[in-house]
Amino acid sequence: MRSNEPADPVAERRFGTGWISGTMSVALGIVGLLAVACFHFPSYLTIPEVRHLYPLVWVRLLLHAILVTAFLTGCTSFVLRGDKTLGTVGMALAVVAVLLGGSRVPIDGPTTSGVYLGLDYVLLLFVLYALIFIPLERVFGRLPQRVFRKDWKLDLAYFFVSTLLVQVTTFLTVAPASLLFGWAQGGAVQQWVKAQPTWLQFLELVVIVDFAQYWIHRAFHVVPWLWRFHAIHHSTEVLDWMSGNRQHIVDAAVTRGLIYIPAFALGFAELPMVLYVVLVSVQSVFIHANVNFRFGRLSYLFATPHFHHWHHGVDREAIDKNFAIHLPVLDMLFGTFHLPADRWPQGYGVDPNDVPSGYLAQWAYPFMPQRTRRPAMTPDGPAAPPPLPDPGPRHDHRP
Ligand SMILES: [Zn+2]
Ligand SMILES: [Zn+2]
């Protein structure tokens, strides 16, 4: 009997044990069930502005494929695995989703409401990124990491909550710029900016937004009370395609609200703005991914995983380096560029790492009294100076 064998998590999850198929089945079953809910309640669970961007026929086809795969992988797991839980749950989720209408639920109710969640956006992005990055990290992984690595639930929670609350995050991004520069819309400068070719506006956006982002990001590192919020993003000790989601809401809202101001004030057109949002979404997943890609001289032109992994490095040489999200040239200009061609950081995270690992505890963390007083908090340098020439623990920002 398999259930009487000594528990060995690695052996229990090997290919052929039914664990991979069972996990896939449950994950796809959940995605399928939530997608069916989106069809039933489009006014509350989908984003009105984005809905027309994806063709419904293809979404229904994708949902059908997801439900069939969930059921078949559930069957596979049920046959292969001694413990039938994963297979049974996966199959049950798929069956319930089909009984609730599956991919054929008609959309006949109201499709707009005042308040909505971006569940469609959550599911589409999750399926898309999982399909691209899980195989990519399997084949080109820099470190041998599992998909369900340390704190995967935490990073998944960040992804789900921040994407679901898209109405709130969009409002927080747009409101400061509208309040400050709403009056400037339609002026001569804005007309001139808008009249430029889309590709040129897009390139200008990359430069302008990343310039603003560079200094805001740098401020989050060097101003101690801001660092408390940004420390959440740096608390991850594992980098992969899900890691970039870990960001405190204050960090995300302040950064996005401020970088949107120049883009809005200058009057860029909607299409280049949308293209930029797509770029930043894909690139922020990509630069955290656990992939061993080398881009040669191109890594001086745009931010790569190698470049951003050094930003997360726990090594002393990596402290406060590589703030750009798109353009490493900004770090070269302002003296914070660090990209050893032949090495990656020894590890990731912050030292000391007093950030709690719970989702709600991380929300509260910046507002709590500090248990360990960091050297960066003292006006005259570190409280307990490390031996020279040691530059001190991570984020030791001596004046
Ligand atoms: Zn940072
Ligand atoms: Zn990052």
How many whole angstroms separate alpha carbon 190 and alpha carbon 211?
20
Q: Ligand 2 centre from 305 Cα, in Å?
A: 10
Q: Ligand 2 centre from 89 Cα, in Å?
A: 35
How many whole angstroms separate alpha carbon 216 and alpha carbon 350?
19
In the three-class reduction of DSSP (H, G, I as helix; E, B as strand; rest coil), residue 299 is classed as helix
Q: Ligand 2 centre from 166 Cα, in Å?
A: 20
Q: Ligand 1 centre from 221 Cα, in Å?
A: 6
Question: Which pLDDT does position 162 carry in this prediction?
Answer: 86
The residue range of the domain holding 197 is 167-377
Residues 101 and 177 in one domain: no
Residue 71 lies in a domain: yes
Residues 257 and 366 in one domain: yes
Mean pLDDT of successive 10-residue stretches along the chain, which has 399 residues: 54 79 90 88 79 81 91 89 88 90 78 75 88 91 85 91 83 86 82 93 96 96 93 93 93 93 91 92 94 87 95 92 96 95 90 88 87 40 39 41
Smallest-distance ligand from the CA of 395? 1
Smallest-distance ligand from the CA of 244? 2
Q: Ligand 1 centre from 271 Cα, in Å?
A: 29
Residues 311 and 214 in one domain: yes
Place of tokens 């996005």: 256
Residue 124 lies in a domain: no
Question: Which pLDDT does position 166 carry in this prediction?
Answer: 79
Displacement of CA 311 from its chain's centroid (Å): 16
Q: Ligand 2 centre from 246 Cα, in Å?
A: 8
Place of tokens 């500090």: 370
Q: Ligand 2 centre from 64 Cα, in Å?
A: 35
Q: Ligand 2 centre from 347 Cα, in Å?
A: 14
Residues 215 and 318 in one domain: yes
Question: Which pLDDT does position 393 carry in this prediction?
Answer: 45
Q: Tell me how far CA of residue 80 lies from CA of 1, 6, 76, 84, in angstroms.
A: 13, 18, 6, 9
Q: Ligand 2 centre from 197 Cα, in Å?
A: 31
Question: Which pLDDT does position 2 carry in this prediction?
Answer: 44
In the three-class reduction of DSSP (H, G, I as helix; E, B as strand; rest coil), residue 136 is classed as helix
Residues 93 and 173 in one domain: no
Q: Got the DSSP string for 22-75?
A: HHHHHHHHHHHHHHHHHHH-HHHHS-HHHHTTS-HHHHHHHHHHHHHHHHHHHH
Residue 54 lies in a domain: yes
Instruction: Let me know: does 220 contact 397? Beta carbons within 8 Å.
Output: no
Smallest-distance ligand from the CA of 255? 1
Smallest-distance ligand from the CA of 247? 2
Residues 111 and 173 in one domain: no
Instruction: Let me know: does 283 contact 133? Beta carbons within 8 Å.
Output: no
Question: Which pLDDT does position 342 carry in this prediction?
Answer: 86
> For the whole model, what pTM was predicted?
0.81
Q: Ligand 2 centre from 101 Cα, in Å?
A: 40
What is the number of domains present in the chain?
2
Q: Ligand 1 centre from 311 Cα, in Å?
A: 7
Instruction: Let me know: does 2 contact 82? Beta carbons within 8 Å.
Output: yes
Residues 178 and 41 in one domain: no
Residues 309 and 182 in one domain: yes
